[in-house]
Amino acid sequence: DAGVTQSPTHLIKTRGQQVTLRCSPKSGHDTVSWYQQALGQGPQFIFQYYEEEERQRGNFPDRFSGHQFPNYSSELNVNALLLGDSALYLCASSPLATSSYNEQFFGPGTRLTVL
Amino acid sequence: GQNIDQPTEMTATEGAIVQINCTYQTSGFNGLFWYQQHAGEAPTFLSYNVLDGLEEKGRFSSFLSRSKGYSYLLLKELQMKDSASYLCAVDSNYQLIWGAGTKLIIKP
């Protein structure tokens, strides 16, 4: 079982650019959540995808958008990058439809640096 | 608003016991999680509480009081590898709300 995978591992961009991060969920999981984790902080919920639709959204601007594909993999897109977008971006998957509780399994994350 | 509070940092001695507290105020409650996160790595699941009381899992135990909005994680027989951040998270209407984490430093 491959677990949750994310790509790329590290990424450096400049202000104003756009970035796409990718996530493949754990086998058997159909729900993907994205989090932003600044250094020394807990993860902040960005949004959650289920059945290819955004199911929940945290307090993030429209510059943050996402997509879920029929195979349950997901992308996070960030437009017009700001310095403050520098963070670890975590993807988590969960078997929402079949689980009694929302245990989430995290990928290794993508470290985004905006210069 | 939604708020989760936990101490920023704690120090303990190898072989000892440590209790990490978490208090929360959230609009919904579907359970409380504790995760461990080593520096530069992803969080890993430790425990889940949805009913009041103590859940024991080896060296780790977690307690919940819903009426007080309070939980703690108890770590026994501390080992050097337990040096990490411990994150408290509340499932509020299927959205995980996270504390900032408690950095636990273990000294020999």
Question: CA-nearest residue of chain A to B91?
Answer: A102
**Each residue of A62-89: pLDDT tens digit?**
999 999 999 999 999 999 999 999 999 9
Is the backbone peptide bond immediately before A8 cis, with ω within 30 degrees of 0?
A: yes
Q: Categorize the per-residue pLDDT at B92 as very low, low, confident or very high, splitting at 50, 70 and 90.
A: confident
CB pairs under 8 A between A and B: 56
Q: How do residues B2-34 score in pLDDT, each as one tens digit?
A: 899 999 999 999 999 999 999 999 998 989 999
- Residues B91, B1 contacting (CB under 8 angstroms): no
Query: Measured between CA atoms, how close is A20 to chain B, in angstroms?
Result: 19
Searching chain A, which residue's CA lies closest to the CA of residue B50? A101
- Beta strands in A58-100, from DSSP E residues, in sequence order: 64-68, 74-78, 87-94
Residue of B nearest to A91 (CA): B42
- Smallest CA–CA separation between A101 and chain B, in Å? 8
